[in-house]
């Protein structure tokens, strides 16, 4: 059977075809009535905020910090800490899918990681279960496998090797996603984001860089691929040198269109040759492998 769906246009307010009714399959619609974006005040949240609005009628934004700028029509903001179960439950009410960026994003003392990334992610999945949310896009991190070496190419099914408590907390989030798929049929795409910045900042990021445009492509693929179960994928652009093989996630249909290569010459001229004895050069996690403990 051929399924024809409407072309998605940024300003198109026409409701998408209901693929579930048409096919009897649990397919995800291409346009959402309401999406939730956590971590909306952060670096990637600020980037994704206007981009995600194109794919939904209402975009619920949340963070424990205030948002920059005024809300535009169709945006809602709920200020909430992820450690607050009742507040997180309210966030998930009436949303079709969640893009979960909120939480601690670097190596930090345990108490902060526990609150934002362990307890907070648990609250989010519980809220999704109680509210019947069908799919979550989870911002995991390459630091789940940061203790693999830079001379190895690994994939999403290799055993985790976190490079710190932060990476460990993201591995917990991925395990939680697997549990909620196996037990409760909540789908997740866990994106092990590499380094998503305007441009790569150092030699390591030539391998790990994810452009903002490719981030959008990947998040939209994760939201709209027909069937994902729990899929893990590394979030990277089409970089010439890479440590990650995403073959097992090809069903998402993500095709990166940017590459770090155009930054290489300037970066290598600017930065001295790497010290090959430095753990930050030996391991994929870079400086994270020697950050902390803080006590």
Residues marked as catalytic: 166
Which residues would be at the binding site for ligand 15L (CB under 6 A)? 105-106, 141-143, 195, 208
Instruction: Please return the burial class of 206, using the count of CB atoms within 10 Å of its CB with bins 0-12, 13-18 and 19+.
Output: buried
Q: Whose CB is nearest to ligand NAI?
A: 42
Which residues would be at the binding site for ligand NAI (CB under 6 A)? 39, 41-45, 63-65, 81-83, 101-105, 115-116, 120, 139, 141, 193, 195-196
Shortest distance, position 239 Cβ to ligand NAI, whole Å: 14
Give the integer Cα–Cα distance in Å for 230 and 244. Answer: 18
What are the residues facing 79 on neighbouring strands?
63
Shortest distance, position 57 Cβ to ligand 15L, whole Å: 30
Collect all residues with Cβ–Cβ distance below 8 Å to 34 and sequence separation of at least 6. Answer: 56, 57, 58, 59, 60, 94, 95, 96
Query: Pick from ligand NAI, ligand 15L, none: which does 208 bind, CB < 5 to 8 A by kind?
Result: ligand 15L
Shortest distance, position 268 Cβ to ligand NAI, whole Å: 21
Shortest distance, position 284 Cβ to ligand 15L, whole Å: 8
In 3D space, the residue among 99, 92, 103 whose CA is nearest the CA of residue 42 turns out to be 103
Both tokens of 268, joined, read: 């290598």
Give the integer Cα–Cα distance in Å for 4 and 239. Answer: 33
Instruction: Please give the full DSSP string across 151-208, using - where no structure is assigned.
Output: T--B-TTSPP--SSHHHHHHHHHHHHHHHHHHHH--EEEEEEE-B-SSS--SSTHHHH
Shortest distance, position 57 Cβ to ligand NAI, whole Å: 24
Q: CB-wise, 141 or 239, nearer to ligand 15L?
A: 141
Is the CB of residue 29 less than 8 Å from the CB of residue 19?
A: yes
The single residue listed with the structure tokens 């203790």 is 147
Is the CB of residue 36 less than 8 Å from the CB of residue 92?
A: yes
Q: CB-wise, 85 or 280, nearer to ligand 15L?
A: 280
């Amino acid at each position: 059977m051929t399924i024809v769906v409407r072309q998605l246009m940024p300003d198109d307010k026409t409701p998408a075809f209901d693929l579930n009714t048409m096919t009897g399959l649990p397919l995800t619609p291409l346009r959402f009535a309401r999406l939730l974006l956590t971590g909306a005040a952060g670096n990637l949240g600020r980037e994704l905020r206007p981009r995600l609005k194109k794919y939904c009628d209402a975009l619920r934004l949340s963070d424990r910090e205030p948002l920059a700028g005024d809300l535009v029509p169709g945006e809602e903001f709920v200020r909430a800490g992820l450690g607050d179960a009742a507040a997180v439950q309210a966030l998930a009410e009436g949303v079709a899918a969640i893009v979960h960026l909120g939480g601690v994003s670097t190596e930090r003392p345990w108490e902060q990681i526990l609150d934002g990334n362990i307890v907070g992610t648990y609250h989010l999945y519980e809220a999704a279960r109680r509210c019947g949310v069908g799919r979550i896009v989870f911002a995991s991190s390459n630091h789940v496998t940061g203790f693999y070496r830079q001379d190895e190419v690994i994939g999403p099914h290799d055993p985790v090797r976190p490079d710190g408590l932060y990476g460990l907390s993201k591995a917990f989030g991925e395990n939680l996603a697997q549990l909620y798929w196996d037990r409760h049929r909540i789908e997740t795409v866990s994106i092990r984001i590499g380094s998503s910045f305007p441009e790569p900042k150092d030699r390591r990021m030539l391998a790990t860089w994810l452009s903002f445009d490719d981030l959008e492509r990947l998040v939209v693929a994760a939201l709209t691929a027909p069937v994902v179960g729990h899929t893990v994928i590394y979030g990277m652009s089409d970089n010439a040198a890479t440590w990650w093989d995403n073959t097992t996630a090809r069903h998402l249909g993500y095709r990166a269109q940017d590459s770090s290569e155009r930054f290489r010459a300037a970066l290598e001229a600017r930065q001295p040759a790497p010290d090959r004895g430095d753990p930050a050069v030996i391991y994929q996690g870079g400086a994270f492998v020697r950050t902390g403990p803080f006590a």
